[in-house]
Every structure is written in C-alpha cells, then in structure tokens.
Amino acid sequence: MDPVKSRLEKKPVDYNGFLQEDKKDSSMALGRVDRGRSEVSTPPLESWREERTRSEEDNELNLPTLSAAYSTILRSLGEDPGRQGLLKTPWRAATAMQFFTKGYQETITDVLNDAIFDEDHDEMVIVKDIDMFSMCEHHLVPFIGKVHIGYLPNKQVLGLSKLARIVEIYSRRLQGCQALQVRAITSIYLVLNCNVPLSVSFSHMCMVMRGVQKMNSKTVTSTMLGVFREDPKTREEFLNLIRS
Ligand SMILES: [Zn+2]
C-alpha cells in the first residue's frame, strides 16, 4: 500500500481542545494565543483525508450546468444576462469558481509522495508568509491571508515547498478557516508523526464587505499539535520565529 496513504489512514486524532483562537482587529495580535476553549465546532475530519471529489473531466462536463446556474443568478439579481457586458460572464464565473475550488481535485497523497526524506534533524522547520486564498462555505466569498506553518521533525522531513502545497490544497475548497487549519496540520502530523504548529492571519470578505464592514479587520488564529500545545516555551519559540 502507498506509504503516505497508509499513514493518513492509520490513526484517529484526538481533536478535543485542538483549536485555539484569538480574534483581533489587528495583525499585531499574532503573538497572543489563548489556550481557552474554542467556540468552533469540530469540522468533519474523518472524511477529508483522501478526498478527491472532482476531476478535470468533471470540470468540463459540469461547466454548462454551472454556467447556466450563473445565468440564473444574474437574472435573479435583476440583470440581463443577454446584455453585451454579461454575455460571457456566466462561463467566466463558472471557470473561475472551478479554479477557486481546485483543491477538490487533489489529495495530500499526490503532493507528499516522493517528498518525505529520512533525516536526523531536530530543529524547528518553519515556512512563513504562505499566501492563502480560500472561499468561505457560508457565503461563497473569499477569505485571504497569510499562513505560517512549521513542525519539529521526528527523523523525517518534508520537502520545503510541500508545506505551501499542503496549504494550497486545503485552502482551495469551501470551508471555514478553522477547518483549513485542522486539515493542514493534521495531515503533516499524521504523515511525519511529528509536532506541528500553524498560525493564520486572514481577512474575511464576509466581514469586510458585509455585516460589520470593517475594512481592516483581521482574524488571527493558531492551531497547535503535540509539544506546541503542551509546552509554552516551544509555542513561544514558534510565535517569536514567525514574528521575526
Ligand atoms: Zn462567510
């Protein structure tokens, strides 16, 4: 059996108290991580690991239906999908939406195969400022931000570019930010059997463009696994490194 796949399927993860959340209106809040209980309900976690619900062929096949749906949306908004400026809009919007959600076409196994190396290296590995573009599952509007992710190797390391790829796969789906974090770090944790922290600062267009309409509102959340959850010093080291 595929080694990455078997590790992903291997063990259940205890998600209790998994998420730590720190909401602030400024990215200055990045360093503060409350260990309080999360208000976030646990995302459906068992089904995501090897999920590939779409293929290139599906995209092609579904494009007419998706475009037709966008025409309906335009009409329902009081627009005329037949007017010149909108003639190709349903098709463009459908293609764009397929791109925004292209994470459904990939699995973590695609990315991690051939990218895990044995190495006796025990320094914290961190990749900062990974751009994240995702879509909120409640309103289908974007949330965008920066992800800082790392891990403490346990005899094995990942190719560095893979951390960004993992974020990419999980962000290009419909979800909330918490689900994204949990999926990203759990996959690394399961595959490398190591400790993983992750911090995200993001702007949610739901908040910026509707509702409270706060232009500069940013949410900062952190998710930690293993020693990063248990040991304040290790956690602090991670947070200091991503701030520097
Ligand atoms: Zn939303």
> What is residue 198's predicted lDDT score, i.e. its pLDDT?
81
pTM: 0.75
Residue 210 Cα to ligand 1 middle (Å): 9
Residue 69 Cα to ligand 1 middle (Å): 20
pLDDT tens digits for 52-109? 789 999 999 999 999 999 999 999 999 999 999 999 999 999 999 999 999 999 888 8
> What is residue 213's predicted lDDT score, i.e. its pLDDT?
64
Residue 8 Cα to ligand 1 middle (Å): 29
- Contact in structure between 43 and 176 (CB atoms under 8 Å): yes
Task: Please give all residues whose CB falls under 5 A of ion ligand 1, grouped by chain where several chains appear.
Answer: 136, 138-139, 206
Query: Who's near 165: CB < 8 A, 6+ residues apart?
Result: 111
Query: Who's near 132: CB < 8 A, 6+ residues apart?
Result: 144, 145, 146, 147, 167, 171, 180, 200, 202
Residue 139 Cα to ligand 1 middle (Å): 4
Angle at the Cα of 230 from the Cα atoms of 20 and 41, rounded to 5 degrees: 30
> What is residue 58's predicted lDDT score, i.e. its pLDDT?
95
- Comparing CA positions, the residue from 221, 199, 219, 217 lying closest to residue 208 is 217
Q: Which residues of the chain have pLDDT under 50?
A: 16-17, 19-47
Tell me 116's DSSP state.
Answer: E
> What is residue 41's predicted lDDT score, i.e. its pLDDT?
39
